[in-house]
Amino acid sequence: MQFRPATPADVAEITAIYGHHVRHGTASYEIDPPDKADMAARLARIQGPGWPWLVAASSDGELLGYAYASQFRDRAAYRFVCENSIYVRHNRRGQGVGKALLSALIEAATACRFRQMIAVIGGAEPASIALHAALGFSPAGRLEAIGRKHSRWLDTVYMQLPLGPGSSVPPEQEPA
Ligand SMILES: CC(C)(COP(=O)(O)OP(=O)(O)OC[C@H]1O[C@@H](n2cnc3c(N)ncnc32)[C@H](O)[C@@H]1OP(=O)(O)O)[C@@H](O)C(=O)NCCC(=O)NCCS
């Protein structure tokens, strides 16, 4: 398995991977999958400020999954907090791809000077909770019945991981 930054050439596969999870799962609260143009715009919006968007590829070039990190909320004081997003091709789940990909993303987000990473786990998905717990994320709250999809009320679970020095020292530069 190899990890590398996503490029516009990956957009079709990323759109297909995410589309499956939008249609069949509850990790995303989108109901209608985005098309390739939407996804290309999302990729540009993440990579524009220098945030990481990684893909995992098999040795024969198949895209196995992707993960990105973006500022948790837009307002300036959130400058050092990112939210992650990770999707593994549906028929490649449970084979270690998610764990390796999220580990690589944590490293890349730390290099971007983020100090905290938040996982916003739609549908309180057990696989996602297990993945984040396995990488050291701590439970940080649960909002009950805030989503509605596939005729079910959905809880959202928050988990949090300090990155690098976390909150033990101030940032090199205060947010403008
Ligand atoms: C959640 C997801 C990214 C995990 O990736 P994955 O490649 O399937 O997970 P891995 O095989 O790397 O397993 C990671 C850990 O989670 C555990 N795990 C994986 N699937 C699990 C499941 N269905 N139930 C319970 N634990 C599970 C594994 O045992 C492993 O823990 P360990 O290292 O302590 O043994 C993937 O299943 C996925 O894309 N799901 C749909 C979208 C989604 O929920 N994305 C997260 C949005 S926040």
Helices and strands per DSSP (H, E), number in the chain = 4, 7
22-37 as b/e: b if 16+ CB within 10 A: beebbbbeeeebbeee
**Per-residue pLDDT averaged across 110-114, rounded?**
97
Given a cut of 90, whether residue 51 has pLDDT beyond it is: yes
Share of the chain above pLDDT 70, in %: 100
**Per-residue pLDDT averaged across 142-153, rounded?**
98
**Per-residue pLDDT averaged across 115-133, rounded?**
98
Domain locations in the chain as residue ranges = 2-162
- Tokens representing residue 105 in the block: 């993303």
The pLDDT value given to residue 175: 87
Share of the chain above pLDDT 90, in %: 98
101 lines ligand 1 (CB under 6 A): no
Q: Which residues contact 162 (CB under 8 A, 6 or more apart)?
A: 115, 116
DSSP annotation of 95: S
The pLDDT value given to residue 148: 98
99 lines ligand 1 (CB under 6 A): yes
Residue with the nearest Cα to atom 37 of ligand 1? 93
134 lines ligand 1 (CB under 6 A): yes
- Tokens representing residue 10 in the block: 């990956």
- N residues, the chain: 176
Give the SS3 label for residue 72.
coil
Average pLDDT of the chain?
Answer: 97
Residue with the nearest Cα to atom 48 of ligand 1? 121
- The domain at 2-162 falls in which architecture? 3-Layer(aba) Sandwich (3.40)
The amino acid present at 174, given as its one-letter code, is E
